[in-house]
Amino acid sequence: MPDDISPYPSSARGFMGLIGARKTGYSDGYARFELDIGPHLLNPMGIPHGGVYASILDTTLGSSGCWEGNPDTFRPSVTLNLNVSYLAQPRGTRLICEARRVGGGKSIYFSEGEIHDETGVLIARASGTFKVITRR
């Protein structure tokens, strides 16, 4: 990636960009991503695939501990553990995922988060452990 392109702009790149996720909130200890539910995200039952929930939770929880002072950059990290509880199916058409860093130290941190739809239905919760790594 060229140096002049932000590695994590307000519209996500890579896999999250491929599925259509957008970063809509980001500050020290907090991250928010949103994703419109489209046919490419559905399982055979017509609801979003569980991997979609796990992916947006993983990214949002990981991002909540990666603040380095600028909303368009982040400290890179990897997921060490992710626990997801699937609670309900959405009634709306947009997934809203919010996460907060809840503890840890300089290199290992813990985050918790949840997914709601725009109608307020709580769809999934997660907790995770992440490790800050050196930027390549």
pLDDT in tens, 23-40: 999 999 999 999 999 999
pLDDT in tens, 100-112: 999 999 999 999 9
* Dihedral pair phi/psi, residue 33, rounded to 5°: -125, 150
pLDDT exceeds 50 at position 7: no
CA 14 to chain centre: 13
- Tell me how many helices (H) and strands (E) the chain has: 2, 6
Average pLDDT of the chain to the nearest whole number:
90
Identify whether the C-beta of residue 62 lies closer than 8 Å to the C-beta of residue 101.
no
Range 27-54 burial, b when 16+ CB lie within 10 A, else e: eeebbbbbbebeeebeeeeeebeeebbe
Token pair, residue 103, equals 């503890």
CA distances from 75 to 22, 69, 82, 97 (A): 18, 10, 19, 20
Identify whether the C-beta of residue 11 lies closer than 8 Å to the C-beta of residue 20.
no
What's the pLDDT band for 130 if we cut at 50, 70, 90? very high
CA distances from 41 to 44, 101, 135 (A): 10, 27, 31
pTM (global) more than 0.85: yes
